[in-house]
Every structure is written in structure tokens, then in C-alpha cells.
Amino acid sequence: MPEQTEFPISPVPPKGAVQRLSLYLRELRKSASEGRDRISSTRLGKLLDLKPAQVRKDLSYLGQAGQPGVGYVCQDLIGLIQRTLGTDRKWPVALVGCGKIGQALLGYGGFDPQGFQIVAAFDSDPDIVGTAHGALTVQDVDQVADSIRRQGIRLAIVAVPADAAQATADRLVLAGIEGILNFAPVVLVLPKTVRVVAVDLAIGLEQLVFGVVRQLENG
Amino acid sequence: MPEQTEFPISPVPPKGAVQRLSLYLRELRKSASEGRDRISSTRLGKLLDLKPAQVRKDLSYLGQAGQPGVGYVCQDLIGLIQRTLGTDRKWPVALVGCGKIGQALLGYGGFDPQGFQIVAAFDSDPDIVGTAHGALTVQDVDQVADSIRRQGIRLAIVAVPADAAQATADRLVLAGIEGILNFAPVVLVLPKTVRVVAVDLAIGLEQLVFGVVRQLENG
DNA sequence: GTGTGTGAAAAACTTCACAGCT
DNA sequence: AGCTGTGAAGTTTTTCACACAC
């Protein structure tokens, strides 16, 4: 077969555009909360350090998003982006690994406003299992599959040590998890049907060093 | 001026390649520690879910990195990547913001092995200033400029609340910081001479949701 | 045979520039 | 005037395919 038949609707947003949609959303929420009801691509670009054309191109993947001569209506755009990203509903999330990072995530207040809620937490360490964090009690990781099925969880955060990450992820996939946010410093190799987003703390610093060193020798 | 005169040496690694260098480095360290002394682009690719051609192209930016018919010598490649990234020496780092995330970073053991060390921590909350975390005592953020100059710090981690992030970053830049790892859910707008890498927790989940939802409707 | 390095082709992404709407 | 949407141009990045080395 030469090609996949394609929905005629949207020409598939590039990967980078999807990331920026999240940034637009955040900025739009802020602007809206400050009482602004319309915004232009130029202004949005200034706030996010992007060229206006980039903003318009990204938003054009949403279909009709703005009005020529007027700009974008903040509330409408917020709704449109949320529907596109799939965050126009609540997403329960499982947390696996409740060490330092996992516990920080349990206490992190930034998830709820975006519709994400950690509804179950797991660890393999007997000293950690059974401890309470807010409303949640850490369960043994052996119960993760049950919990995922029972609570209809589709997303998981992996915050276990590096050497346990791949096995943990395999297990989650087997239990039906469709997306993993990975904090372990390992590249997870998983079926292409499972989405993975990596958050790597040390690598961020390495990228920074490269840029800083480059900055000096080059212009 | 039509064009910047360029060092004839390396054709400037693409941004994505630099990110992958960090991944290669991590994987090479693991392989080396398991006793392997040579590795092929095919194998490295399998471990990181990349095509062999991509691996070779990335490594070719380092200059002569491997040997035809043989592969890459792990230790040599490790050294070469470290020199390229600039991580062949120690980098002291300042941490600004010692709330939940900041404290988790203070306890995170993953920085030291890569040559990064948090050597000073700051906060503006009087309840947090003065508390000890390991060998460090949290200082008042007003002392950050002094500390940066005195300790020759060039990199900072920003882990303050969103509404304080831009002002904090401005302050750090004024104090001479050259690179910022930003955990606050805000896009920092700074001079182009300052490198910024963003780590956004909620955005990672949003990207995941988009991928998961897309996965179903499309193939 | 296995394996790298690389020019060239292909694909993906960004930026431009302008038609058209308010 | 100001603004969006978009085809086309321009740029960057990935992938291919093969010459050459062990």
C-alpha cells in the first residue's frame, strides 16, 4: 500500500507545534485571568519568544482559530487547544516510584489545574509502602496492574531508579498503560503504540553546558 | 555582512544531535561498566531506539570517532563526547527556590556522577532560609549575586513559583549566570546570550495525552 | 563479512509574503 | 489601519546508499 488514507481535516501538526500548543495554552490562561479577551499572534509571540508567523502556523492546525483583522478570542482558543490536546477532560495518573522525586511529584500542585490527578502511588520498598502522602497511601507495586484496570488509568509516571525502569515500564504496558512520563535516566524501549515522554534532569544540565561553552568560542 | 566566518572543523551539530549525545554518553557508560570495550552504531541504536545511520551521523560531528569495520571504542567515545559537551570538568550549580521540587533536586543523586554539584541554595521564604539539606544551608535569595561571583558559578536551576520566575531569572542574568535550567511553568524571555533549558512537568503529561488520543483515532 | 563516514536525496519544519477579512 | 490563514520559499534535520577500511 503506497500511503495511509488521511483525514482531509488537519495536515497533522508537527511535533514541535504540539509542544508549543501547551505553551500557548498556559499563556492564554494567564492572559484570560488578567481580563484580556482577545490576543494577537504578535503579542502571543512576544510573550513566548516566538515569531508571529510561527504562532499563526501552529494555531492554523486547529482549523479556524482566529478572526482576520481581530485576533484570537482567548476563551475560544483555550477550549480549542484543550480539545485538540485531549485535556478537555480529567486524566487519572498512576505514579510508580515514591522516592525523592516521586514524593515531590505527589506534592506538586501543578498537575491538578491541567486536569491531571495522581490517583494511585506505588513502590517496591517495604519501608515506603503503606506511608501516606496527602490523601494517598503508597501501595505495593505488585498491585499496579489491578489498580490500573480497576480505575481506568491510561497514563503513568515512572520515577523508579534507572535499573528498574525498563522492567517497570514493561509491566505497565502489559497492564494496558498507553502513555508514560519517564523520570528515570534511561531510554525506555517500548512498542510504538505506547507514548513516552522523557524528563531527564541531568541531561538538561548537559545541554546547558554545551550551549554555554559554545557561546564563548563561537559568536 | 553576508555570513559568519566559520571554523572549518565541525559543521555545527544540529540541536537534536546534541541532545542525543547525552543519551549516547549515558548508554556508553553503562556498556563500559558492564565490561564492553567496543560498540557498533547498530547496537547503540537498538539500545536507544534510533536508526544506525542517525547514530553514525551524530557521532560524525565529533570528528573521527569510530573505526570502519570495528565500531566505536567505548572509553574513547565517552571522553570525546564529554569534551564536546563540556562536561569533562566539574560544574558548580546554584539552586534558586527550595520548595518541594527544589528540595527533591537537592537530594537527587543523579547530578554528581555527571559532574554537576549544587554548591549553593537560595529561597526567599524566611521559614526555609536557614534550613539545612545535606551539607548545604539555604541562604536568602538576596545573597545570590554575591555567591555567584565569589564561587564562580555559571549555571543555575530555577525552581521558584511561576510568578516569581522571570524576575528571578533577570536577577541571575544580571549577576552573570550564563545558563538556566528552568522548572517553573513559564517561558523565560532573556538575552540570546543566555542559554535556557526548560523542564516542564505538566507539559510532559499534555504531550502524552495528545499522543495517546491520536493513537486511537489515527493508526 | 561487519562496520564507519558521508555526499546526496528525502522529509520535516520554519519563515516569508501576501491575499483577503474587519 | 491591523490581523489571520496559507501557499511557496527557505532552512534544517533525517534517512538513504554506497565507497572504503578492518
pLDDT, tens only, A102-135: 999 999 989 999 999 999 999 999 999 999 999 9
Q: Cell numbers of A66, please?
A: 482566529
CA of B60 to C1' of C10 (A): 20
From its phi and psi, is residue B122 left (phi > 0), alpha (psi between -120 and 50) or beta? beta
Average pLDDT of chain A is 93
Cα angle for residues A141, A144, A149 (degrees, 5° grid): 175
CA distance A130 to A108: 20
The letter for the amino acid at A101 is I
Burial of residue A93 (CB within 10 Å: 0-12, 13-18, 19+) is buried
- What's the pLDDT tens digit per position in B16-61? 999 999 999 999 999 999 999 999 999 999 999 999 999 999 999 9
3 state SS of A54: helix
> Is B47 within 8 Å of A178 when comparing Cβ atoms?
no
Confidence grade of residue A1 (pLDDT, cut at 50, 70, 90)? very low
Q: How far apart are the first and last CA of chain A?
A: 49
Closest residue by Cα to residue A147 from A125, A168, A175: A175
The structure's pTM equals 0.93
Q: Which of B26, B187, B204 sits opposite A197 (nearest CB)?
A: B204
> Is B47 within 8 Å of A189 when comparing Cβ atoms?
yes
CA distance A180 to A194: 8
User: Across the beta sheet with B179-182, what order do the strands follow?
Assistant: B139-140, B116-123, B91-96, B155-158, B179-182, B195-198
- Alpha carbon separation from A158 to A22, A119, A184, B47, B204 (Å, rounded): 21, 14, 7, 19, 12
Bases in strand D with any atom closer than 7 Å to a protein CB: 1-7, 12-17, 19-22
Angstroms from A67 CA to nearest CA on chain B: 25
What tens-digit pLDDT sequence spans chain B (219 residues)?
333 334 444 678 999 999 999 999 999 999 999 999 999 999 999 999 999 999 999 999 999 899 999 999 999 999 999 999 999 999 999 999 999 999 999 999 899 999 999 999 999 999 999 999 999 999 999 999 999 999 999 999 999 999 999 999 999 999 999 999 999 999 999 999 999 999 999 999 999 999 999 987 765
The reply to whether the CB atom of residue A38 sits less than 7 A from any atom in nucleic acid chain C is no
CA of B54 to C1' of C11 (A): 14
CA distance A30 to B200: 16
Residue that is written with C-alpha cell 557561546 in the block: A215
Residue that is written with C-alpha cell 543523586 in the block: B109
CA distance A203 to A209: 10
Bases in strand C with any atom closer than 7 Å to a protein CB: 1-7, 12-17, 19-22
CA of B192 to C1' of D9 (A): 27
- What's the pLDDT tens digit per position in A24-48? 999 999 999 999 999 999 999 999 9
Cα angle for residues A57, A60, A62 (degrees, 5° grid): 135
Closest residue by Cα to residue B153 from B113, B118, B109, B181: B118
Give the mean pLDDT of A79-100.
97
**Residue A5: is its pLDDT beyond 80?**
no
> Is B187 within 8 Å of A47 when comparing Cβ atoms?
yes
Considering all nucleic acid strands, name the nucleotide whose C1' atom is nearest to the C-alpha of residue B43: C3
